[in-house]
Amino acid sequence: MAKKEKELALKICDILYNKKGKDIVLLDVSNISGFADYFVIATGNSKKHTSALADEIEKKLDEYGEFLNHKEGHNEGTWILLDYLDIIVHIFIEDERNFYDIERIWKGAKYVELDIDME
């Protein structure tokens, strides 16, 4: 089961990359979280961009038969959370990402190497 979640989390990272998401990070939180196995974290250039990133993830994952459990923040666009049960996607504008610093809060998580060029 964990392999399926990892593959899906990596697919989400690819979707974000292809839509120009920035600073994409995949954290394996399975050993320190009781509610998810992976966090995908990314930054958008603007509120409109964060919404477009979230919409693209929803659209593509729906095509793969993966359905969204819960969504928050889409109307505001500063921090959008997409809950796919074992995978939680956080899409921020830069100021919000720096403020909440999810990577620091979950510092015990393992970083999963991504095969994407983040330049």
| pLDDT tens column, 27-74 | 999 988 889 999 999 999 999 999 999 999 999 999 999 999 999 999
Asked if the structure places residue 96 within a domain, the reply is yes
Q: What is the CATH number of the domain that holds 35?
A: 3.30.460.10
| pLDDT above 60: residue 119 | no
pLDDT value of residue 1: 46
Q: How far apart are CA 76 and CA 87, in angstroms?
A: 22
Q: How far apart are CA 88 and CA 12, in angstroms?
A: 10
Q: How far apart are CA 8 and CA 38, in angstroms?
A: 10
With 0-12 CB in 10 A as exposed, 13-18 as middle and 19+ as buried, what is 98?
exposed
Tell me the mean pLDDT in the region 101-106.
93
Asked if the structure places residue 17 within a domain, the reply is yes
Asked if the structure places residue 87 within a domain, the reply is yes
User: Which domain does 64 fall in, by range?
Assistant: 2-111
* Cβ 83 vs Cβ 39: under 8 Å: no
Asked if the structure places residue 117 within a domain, the reply is no
Measured CA angle at 54 (ends 43, 22), to 5 deg = 20
> How many domains does the structure of the chain reveal?
1
Helix (DSSP H) and strand (DSSP E) numbers for the chain: 4, 6
Asked if the structure places residue 116 within a domain, the reply is no
Query: In the chain, what's the furthest Cα-to-Cα distance?
Result: 35
Asked if the structure places residue 24 within a domain, the reply is yes
| pLDDT above 90: residue 3 | no
Asked if the structure places residue 119 within a domain, the reply is no
Asked if the structure places residue 66 within a domain, the reply is yes
pLDDT value of residue 2: 64
pTM surpassing 0.85? yes
